[in-house]
């Protein structure tokens, strides 16, 4: 495939590979000035050594690794879900995944679909014992990362509370609460109308709570 085809984001015409050997390549380059030749040549050579038939290749051009909107990657995932491929080849993890969490989610989906995943430079093949072990390690690291983030957030909130800082949404001023209660008990305005009357100084949910509470304790009309 020519560099022009890659830079335009086009894919090769699908070929009919044997069941179990149908491989898709995924490549990513950060700018249109870069060329995917190194990645493509390395992946094509690996496929030849492994006896895999390349039926499709996908290349995202000028896309950051952290961006979610990668049309070629989306196309690859769709092909896997449609059972059009048996194996995904990438040059390195960082060419494929945005984060550890994204990598784990993709590997879990490939595992569920029975799709083999190979990262050539990282020497990871999910069909091998070492690859399966790495899959488990990546999952454990993602879980640890999530736990550490949660612990840091909780510790930060406790530290802020100790220093007297308010956690959460700002408190509604008493005068606004009184105004809502007055409107709720003296008019038949809807919650939306009451919120409009107070110029949006409280969310509709808060206005609704105060209105319902005020009207529930309002004495019945004689």
End-to-end CA distance of the chain: 86
43, 121, 84, 28 alpha-carbon torsion, rounded to 10°? -80
Among 30, 99, 147, 190, the active-site one is 30
Query: Which whole-number Å values give the CA distances from 151 to 137, 146, 158, in the listed order?
Result: 21, 9, 11
Active site residue 15: no
Q: Give me the active site residues, please.
A: 30
């Amino acid at each position: 495939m020519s560099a022009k085809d890659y830079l335009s984001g086009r894919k090769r015409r699908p070929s009919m590979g044997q069941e179990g050997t149908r491989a898709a390549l995924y490549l990513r380059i950060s700018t249109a000035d870069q060329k995917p030749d190194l990645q493509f040549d390395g992946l094509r050579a690996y496929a030849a050594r492994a006896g895999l038939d390349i039926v499709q290749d996908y290349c995202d051009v000028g896309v950051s690794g952290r961006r979610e909107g990668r049309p070629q990657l989306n196309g690859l995932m769709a092909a896997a879900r449609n059972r059009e491929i048996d194996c995904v080849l990438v040059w390195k993890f960082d060419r494929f995944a945005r984060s550890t969490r994204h990598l784990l989610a993709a590997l879990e989906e490939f595992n569920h679909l029975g799709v083999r995943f190979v990262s050539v430079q990282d020497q990871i093949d999910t069909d091998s014992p070492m690859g399966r072990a790495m899959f488990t390690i990546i999952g454990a690291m993602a879980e640890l990362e999530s736990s550490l983030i949660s612990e840091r957030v909780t510790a930060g909130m406790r530290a802020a509370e100790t220093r007297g800082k308010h956690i959460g949404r700002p408190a509604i001023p008493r005068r606004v609460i009184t105004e809502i209660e007055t409107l709720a008990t003296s008019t038949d305005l809807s919650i939306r109308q009451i919120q409009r009357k107070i110029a949006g100084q409280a969310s509709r949910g808060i206005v609704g709570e105060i209105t319902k509470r005020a009207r529930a304790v309002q004495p019945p009309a004689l």
